[in-house]
Structure 1
Amino acid sequence: MEDCVLERIESPRDLDGLTRDELAGLAQEIRDYLVSSVSLTGGHLGPNLGVVELTLGLHRVFDSPRDSLVFDTGHQSYVHKLLTGRRDFSQLRTRGGLAGYPQRSESEHDIVENSHASTAVSWAAGIARGYTLRGEDDRTAVAVIGDGALTGGMAWEALNSVAASHDRVVIVVNDNGRSYAPTIGGLARRLDGIRTDPRYEQFLGWGKRNFQGRGWARNFTYQTLMHGKRAVKGLITEPGMFEDLGLKYVGPVDGHDLTQVEAALSHAKAYGGPVIVHVLTEKGRGYTPAEEDVADRFHAVGVIHPETGLPVKQSRFGWTKVFAQEILDVARERDDVVALTAAMLAPVGLQPMADEFPDRVIDVGIAEQHAVTSAAGLAFAGLHPVFAVYATFLNRAFDQVLMDVALHGAGVTFMLDRAGITGDDGPSHNGMWDMALLRHVPGLRIAAPRDASTLRRAFREAIDVDDAPTVVRYPKGPVGDDLPALRSVGDLDVLAEHGSSPRVVVLGLGSMAPTAIDTAAKIAAEGIDVVAATATWVHPVPDGLDALMGDAELIVTVEDGLVDAGVGQEWADYARVLGHPATWSHHGVPREFLSHASRAQIVEQVGLESSAIADTVIAALD
């Protein structure tokens, strides 16, 4: 049986004694393993196929965990997990299995969970300064940051700070020209200029001719190259973009040539201060369906057929697609509506609008703060901007929502995709913070539609508001059947009624409306009169709440946001001001970080199943 090198790797130091042939074989084994395993579980396939040789080089040159490796973003850490002894990917991103990002509880080699981009350089700067202050001058902090994450403002704040230090920081720019989609903006053009400079090909060819097979990794340095090949000196020492900050620069390096990667990293490590290593890689490298894909479908995949890359099961029509079609329809009707995205054009549903109206869809890169403030500027100029973003990522721009949009009465609409419990991407991706945070912003209104029809209606109502921010939040995944109202009480819709004199009112917000209906049915089965209701616009408190409560003894709220300081709590405070005597029972997500698991598992874990809520209600009445 042919020897499997991967099975011999329990820690990074097991790489030290491998021959070049064994390392090449290991790289192929890793790619084969990633395709076969991730196709069964889903996960971030393309980014990891692109960093195989880079990660091998990092672990051969640096001594993790004594040297700290920080991946930005952390979805490119699967190879790192394999090389640090974690070879069981059978439950990737499921409860009890490996997380989709680095996780300290899994391994001493994991430093930062880091699924919110553009933070690695700041982490590395702080770690390296800590080593310096402690007198640990033989330790290095390494930030591996993609060119997509480098579009974030925080990364440049960190680069500015690092350049003024003498700490041992190596910043590896993993340049594949993409984040979720092709990297945009001036940074992308500058990096592309370096990639396509004819001197780069000259440099690669000269290096291979003179050093390949002759101890390249031990003997090659960029001083040697500059001494022997003046023609490429400008490319190596004067790249402009980084050198102007005062940072030393090495590259660009072929990120799929392990010998070159090791040489560049060794040179950077030996320098002993802040160094940029510019590494060129190809997303999806070695897997034909990913290499031939132009839509980045393999950035993150569900369960797929490994031979073709096609999904095993087609996904149902989802919330994002409802929004995608509605904003396209609106764009055809109103030329003042423009859209913004932070490097996630397709994931948030803006690709169809961008295809038809390219000048009216603005991709700012991974720069949520800039997106929000520039949206305020667009509103001042007489347009109505719509910023489509994952709910968890709007957290990064709360100050801009508060001080740039709300303070100035800007008519900006925020479409919060993946709001509520998302599950398998782990604690950083659950969009459960938005309602508790945003309801404190003066003048801001929040909608939580329950189905496709109310999402469309809420979006159109939101873009008609031109003097304040509006928010429409909706969950990840397929959208269910419409839930028609039996009747309306002010701005609230009654979805189910059992009996004529309800002792209990169950209020389900947004995607929890079906749970409210099921809960009411279970309560009614015990002979208790009950009504289930919802509101599309949940903040400020909807008109009609006092009338709906009537003579009910118990009001139950169910939301997939924070239960502490959430919308349910706001409604209860309103009722108390009115002097309504009913008792309130709030059900939502606790104020804690939830480990990766399926949405259904988390719903059960936090007690948001209809049966659990009904049992609590019945016990309270007894």
Structure 2
Amino acid sequence: MVKTGYKYLDDINSPKDLRRLSVPELETLAAELRDFMVSELCVNPGHLASSLGAVELAIALHYVYDTPDDKVVWDVGHQAYAHKILTGRREQFHTNRKLGGISGFPRMEESPYDAFGAGHASVSISAALGMAQANKLQGIHRNVIAVIGDGAMTGGLAYEGLNNAGASNADMLVILNDNNMSISPNVGALKEYLLGITTSKHYNRLKNRVWNAMSGVPRMRRAIQNFGNVVKQSILKQSNLFESLNFRYFGPVDGHDLKSLVRVLGDMRSIPGPKLLHVVTKKGKGYKPAESNPPIWHAPGRFNPVTGELLVNPGDNQPDRYQDVFGYTLLELARLDERVVGVTPAMLTGSSMDILQREMPHRCFDVGIAEGHAVTFSAGLAAGGLIPFCNIYSSFMQRAYDHMIHDVAIQRLPVIFCLDRAGLVGEDGVTHHGVFDLAFMRSVPNMTIAAPANEAELKEMMYTALLSGVPFAIRYPRGRGIGADWSGGFRRMEIGRGITLRGGKDVAVLAIGTVTNDALKAAVQAEEEGISAEVVSLRFAKPLDTAILHDVGRRFRRIITVEDGTVEGGVGSAVAEFISANGYTAEVVRLGIPDTFIHHGTIAELKRICGYDTEGILTAIRKAAGREKA
């Protein structure tokens, strides 16, 4: 049920309604937006802290600019909830991230106000530059604004966009929403640079005095802006990074001061060329629990809105999360071998690498939102004699594909890629599903690729990777395991060796990863219907267990493969290639994610839609055995 009873929010169905309000009324609206978001997200979880911090920014942008004709690109998209609510989706917001509901990120096909999709970080400046140049070529006069925040400015693509935009003198505005955070606190030299700008009391005091004094003299303001860089250099004792890239720099501005935001944005509409407005905000603004601990409240799950208590779903058995198995195993391996180090691109808590960081901070590297750099940096560590465990979410690993090939695989360096959130991830949707890794890594020479069926196998694979001395990728899903005991010591696996979990004679089911457990359940149910299904856990996508494949190829006429990844070019394709190349006549039915983009919903819902949940596998077994149910 959508909460109502707000003085202004209930009547805001588009930015046109917003523009009828006065600036003091906008401040009340901001408080109502925050209350609305908290009341909705406490029962339907989503990205809370980031969007709370961008409320005034969203209001000011839609108040000042003529959206959707003027284009606003949000980056990263999880800070855009206020934007969505203000642009006609308030009534649908309770469906956020649910199957068939609105997306948790901007999505072009969802609304004309979503100028560009942005589930991954650092894309906004390049996209906005493209839009600005398209306007120029077509003789269209409209504003283009890129809102980049939550650590996205640490991504290399952002600097490629800045460099190109400055050189092209494109008419566009970049708003740096600086909250010193991604999910965890930002790291690196850029953070210190921005901190120096925002904390220079002398510079900010002088700038504000001059700016306010010239409020009634626009020409004088522009003249002062023209020599502003000289003032900044003399007071800050350093050049301005953005102005050196030919951007007119403005700020820093209090991102929660609506009056100032509206005034500054209004002034900037008439300034041509590339401009950057530095806006300082507080992640979680307006909700004390989120302000006090932004990493926890980035995406907190369900919570009590009054007390801030995080809620656990009743009845859950709560097996360990795969990311925690990774984190604690990495710490064990680091104690065991002094060459072991951890690398992550801004996913310290999300990957549970903070477990290593707390005990051995000197052996843990958070490189910021920079996946390509994370991989090449890991390659350098390996070339220097260390063994890096590089933890990257599967969908983000797509951004570092060339680095994996050029810097790791070709040189056969022992970098261990731990790909968290592999497979369908649920409510984060199409930009976050880790569905392509098996296919895009399988074609790369020198790569070893493994996927555990449970928590114990994840631990064993990490130990095996440590001892292997080769490029090694281990992919595992989001969420909790099946309750397998992983408390024992280390055991080395034989690389490329699968295991037959259940014998059978009618159909062979070859699975990889945690979907092996669904295959086992389906085989048990099939037996109750008189169908004998053999279940094999391949465990390795590369190298495949050729002994098992020869055996299965000889004994079965029908083979079913199951994977939590795309069927185009995935493990099922590898099995089919082997069966064909070796002259076997078995029919191979591949289950997994079809050749389409899968949007958001629960993991169970999405697996059912894709046809590889337990019931989907059972249906395939019945069909292969000629026992289809009516």
TM-score (norm 2): 0.92
Please name the residue that 2:404 is paired with: 401
Amino acid at match of 1:66: D
Q: Deviations over 1:512-543 (max 9, x none)?
A: 11111122123323323221120222212124
- Unpaired runs of 5+ residues, structure 1, are none
Deviation at 1:12, TM superposition (A): 1.0
Corresponding residue to 1:584 among 585, 588, 595 = 588
Q: Which residue of 2 aligns with 1:279?
A: 279
* TM alignment of 1:264-413, pairs within 5 A: 264-293=264-293, 296-313=295-312, 316=318, 317-413=320-416
Deviations 1:420-460, CA, capped at 9 Å, x for gaps: 01121111111000001100000101111001110000011
Corresponding residue for residue 505 of structure 1: 508
Task: List per-residue Cα deviations over 1:131-171 (Å, max 9, x = no partner).
Answer: 000111x2111100016101111110110000012322100
1:516 matched to which residue of 2? 519
Structure 2 CA distance for partners of 1:274 and 1:444, relative to 1, 3 Å:
same
The Cα of 1:579 is off from its aligned counterpart by 2.4
* Structure 1 match to 2:154: 151
Aligned length: 609
Q: What CA deviation, in whole Å up to 9, does each residue of 1:295-329 have, x standing for no partner? A: 61111121111123222116832110111110011
Output the CA distance in 2 between the equivalents of 1:196 and 1:236: 10
Structure 2 CA distance, aligned partners of 1:239 and 1:357?
36
Aligned-partner Cα distance in 1 for 2:143–2:377: 38
Match of 1:536 in 2: 539
Distance of 1:358 and 1:483 partners within structure 2: 28
- Rate the CA distance shift 1:526–1:126 in 2: closer, same or farther, 3 A: same
Is 1:425 the equivalent of 2:428?
Answer: yes
2:489 match:
none
* Cα distance in structure 2, aligned partners of 1:386 and 1:489: 18
Partners of 2:99 and 2:453 lie apart in 1 by 28
What is the alpha-carbon distance in structure 2 between the residues aligned to residue 375 and residue 57 of structure 1?
42
8 Å Cα contact 2:246/2:274 also seen in 1: no
SS at match of 2:565: strand
Structure 1 pair 10–203 and aligned structure 2 pair: CA distance change class (3 A): farther
Alignment RMSD, CA only?
2.6
Q: Which of residues 481, 490, 498 is equivalent to 1:492?
A: 498
Percent identity between matched residues is 37
User: What displacement does 1:83 show?
Assistant: 1.2
Within 5 Å, which residues of 2 pair with 1:117-196?
117-136=121-140, 138-146=141-149, 148-196=151-199
Tell me what 1:55 maps to: 58
Query: What is the match of residue 473 of structure 1?
Result: 475
Q: Distance in 2 between matches of 1:614 and 1:483?
A: 27
Distance in 2, Cα, partners of 1:217 & 1:454: 69
Q: What is the letter of the counterpart of residue 371 of structure 1?
A: A
CA contact (8 A) 2:302 2:312 kept: yes
Report the secondary structure of 1:189's partner residue.
helix
1:572 equivalent in alignment to 2:571: no
Inter-partner Cα distance in structure 2 for 1:398 and 1:607: 29
Task: State the one-letter code of the partner of 2:367.
Answer: V
Q: 1:83 aligns with which of 57, 82, 86?
A: 86
Q: In 1, distance between residues paired with 2:415 and 2:216?
A: 54
Retained in 2: the 8 A contact 1:503–1:551?
no
Q: Map 1:25-104 to 2 at 5 A.
A: 25-88=28-91, 89-104=93-108
Deviation at 1:3, TM superposition (A): 5.9
Displacement of 1:482 in angstroms is: 2.8
Question: Does the Cα contact within 8 Å between 1:217 and 1:259 map onto a contact in 2?
Answer: no
Amino acid of the residue matched to residue 582 of structure 1? A
Contact conserved, 2:53 with 2:282, CA < 8 A, in 1? yes
Pick from 428, 438, 441 the counterpart of residue 438 of structure 1: 441
- Deviation, 1:238, is 8.1
Compare 529-538 and 199-208 and name the one that shifted more: 199-208
SS in structure 1 opposite 2:142? coil
Deviation at 1:8, TM superposition (A): 1.5
Alpha carbons 1:174, 1:281 under 8 Å: kept = yes
Contact 2:438 2:541 in 1 (8 A): no
Contact 1:410 1:469 in 2 (8 A): yes
SS in 2 for 1:322: helix
Q: Is the Cα–Cα contact under 8 Å of residues 492 and 543 in structure 1 kept in the other structure?
A: no
Q: Which residue identity is paired with 2:481? A: V
Task: Give the equivalent residue in structure 2 for 1:16.
Answer: 19
Q: 2:619 aligns to what SS in structure 1?
A: helix
Q: Give the AA of the match of 1:253.
A: V
Q: 261-270 or 387-396, which moves further after superposition? A: 261-270
What's the CA shift for 1:577?
2.4
Q: Secondary structure at the match of 2:78?
A: helix
Does the aligned pair in 2 maintain the 1:145–1:171 contact within 8 Å? yes
Which residue identity is paired with 2:555?
D
Aligned to 1:33, the other structure's residue is in SS state helix
Amino acid at match of 1:281: T
Distance 2:402 2:212 in 1: 54
| 1:556 counterpart SS class | strand
- Gap runs ≥5 in structure 2: 487-493
Structure 1 length as normaliser, TM-score? 0.93
**Partners in 2 of 1:425 and 1:106 — Cα distance?**
15
* Distance (whole Å) between structure 2 residues aligned to residue 188 and residue 425 of structure 1: 27
CA distance, structure 2, for counterparts of residue 41 and residue 169 of structure 1: 36
